[in-house]
Structure 1
Amino acid sequence: MTIEIDNLRIAFGDRKVVKGVSFKVAKGASFGIVGESGSGKSTVLRAMAGLNNEWSGRIAFSGEDAPLKRPPAFFRKVQMVFQDPYGSLHPRQTIDRILSELPLVHGMDRIDDRIAKVLSAVALPQAARFRYPHQLSGGQRQRVAIARALIAEPEVLLLDEPTSALDVSVQAEILNLLADLRAERNLTYVMVSHNLSVIAHLCTEVGVMIDGNMVEQVTAEDLRLGNVQHAHTRELRSLSVELEEPA
């Protein structure tokens, strides 16, 4: 599924948060948005996901303009993975119940089979199905959050800082899992992060945001080589750990 964002503007009252952002993502590609806290990057993602209706401009998936109020079928094709895996999972529901919710809403069949397959896809043991979120590690909880997004068989994943709440040792595991899933399922990714190294690990193209503006778009390879134009991109690059080709 292709994505087109054209002149996206978002304001909360008199405060302009996103100021005319535009970018395109090809089917099966991965686009990262990097910026400091308050730059507007997560606000862009929430508008794309249908979680914020206060926007103007154009948001299109596979050439079709997205309405302000999305139909139920949209949420089978476009799913979001949030920053905090503990906060996004209901603490008093088992993993089985959490993973069953979306298929039940959409009237999908073979729910038990779908849950078993999606747990396997994110490398979780089947026994995790009958545990509660607090009984899992942070990395396992994020795998559940990814599984919940995948069970609807989407074409697009919107990733909001999906590793920032995790230990550094676990971050690479989740990033590698996401990379493998994108390749296996031909998923289209848009990911936001304040960490340029994380973005460059997973995304082939990167948009840099500051104060609601996307000031530069550059390939991950040019980031690694230092072929950037905007001063803010250079600043973010200098603050990041060394940008290496992912293993």
Structure 2
Amino acid sequence: MTIETDNLRISFGDKEVVKGVSFKVAHGASFGIVGESGSGKSTVLRAMAGLNNDWSGRIAFSGEDAPLKRPPAFFRKVQMVFQDPYGSLHPRQTIDRILSELPLVHGMNDIDARIARVLSAVALPQSARFRFPHQLSGGQRQRVAIARALIAEPQVLLLDEPTSALDVSVQAEILNLLADLRVEQNLTYVMVSHNLSVISHLCSRVGVMIDGHMVEQVTVEDLRLGNVQHPHTRELRNLSVELEEPV
């Protein structure tokens, strides 16, 4: 599924926080949006996910314009993984219940088989199904969050800083898992992060945001070589310890 935003604008009251952002993502590709806190990057993602209806401009998936209020079928095609793997999972529900919720809402069949498949896809033991979120590690909880997004068999994953709440050693595991899943399931990704190294690990193209503007779009290879134009892109690059090879 291709993605396109054109002149996307989002305001909270009188304050415009996203100011004419435009970008395209090819089917099966991965596009990263990097910027500091308050740059507007997560606000863009939430509008794409249908979690914020207060926007103007154009958001399109596979050439079809997304309405402000998304129909239920949209959420089978486009799913979001959030930053905090604990806060995004209901603490009093078992993993089985958490993973069952979306298939039940959409009237999907073979729920048991679907749960078994997604647990296997994210490298969690089947026994995790009957545990509560607090009984899992942070990395395991984020794997559950990814499994919940995958159970509807979507075509797009929107990733809102999916590793920032995790230990550095676990971050790499989750990024490698996401990279493998994109290839195996032919998914299209848009990921936001304040960390350019994390974005570079997973994405082949990057949009740089500051104060609601996307000031530059560049390939990760050009980032690595220092072939950038905007001073903020250069600053973010200099702050990154290393830029990973994209996967």
Where in structure 1 are there 5+ consecutive unaligned residues?
Answer: none
Alignment partners' CA distance in 2, 1:183 and 1:58: 28
Cα distance in 2 between the residues matched to 1:20 and 1:244: 30
Between the aligned partners of 1:103 and 1:15, the Cα distance in structure 2 is 38
Residue-by-residue CA offset, 1:75-119 (whole Å, 9 max, x unaligned): 000000000000000000000000000000000000000000000
Tell me the equivalent position of 2:106. 106
Distance 2:235 2:96 in 1: 44
SS of the aligned residue for 1:178 comes to: helix
Separation in 2, partners of 1:58, 1:241 = 36
Q: Distance in 1 between matches of 2:19 and 2:242?
A: 31
Q: Give the Cα separation in 2 of the matches to 1:117 and 1:185.
A: 13
Q: Distance in 2 between matches of 1:221 and 1:154?
A: 28
Residue of structure 1 equivalent to 2:9: 9
TM-score (ref. length: structure 2): 0.99
CA RMSD of aligned residues (A): 0.7
Query: Which ranges in structure 2 are unaligned for 5 or more consecutive residues?
Result: none
Query: How far does residue 244 in structure 1 lie from its aligned partner after superposition?
Result: 3.2
Aligned residues: 247
Query: Which residue of the partner structure matches residue 207 of structure 1?
Result: 207
Tell me how far apart the structure 1 counterparts of residues 226 and 186 of structure 2 sit (CA, whole Å): 29
Q: Deviations over 1:42-95 (max 9, x none)?
A: 000000000000000000000000000000000000000000000000000000
Distance 1:47 1:244 in 2: 29
- Structure 1 ranges of 4+ moved more than 4 A: none
CA contact under 8 A between 2:36 and 2:210: conserved in structure 1?
yes
Q: 1:243, CA displacement in angstroms?
A: 1.2
Q: Secondary structure at the match of 2:172?
A: helix
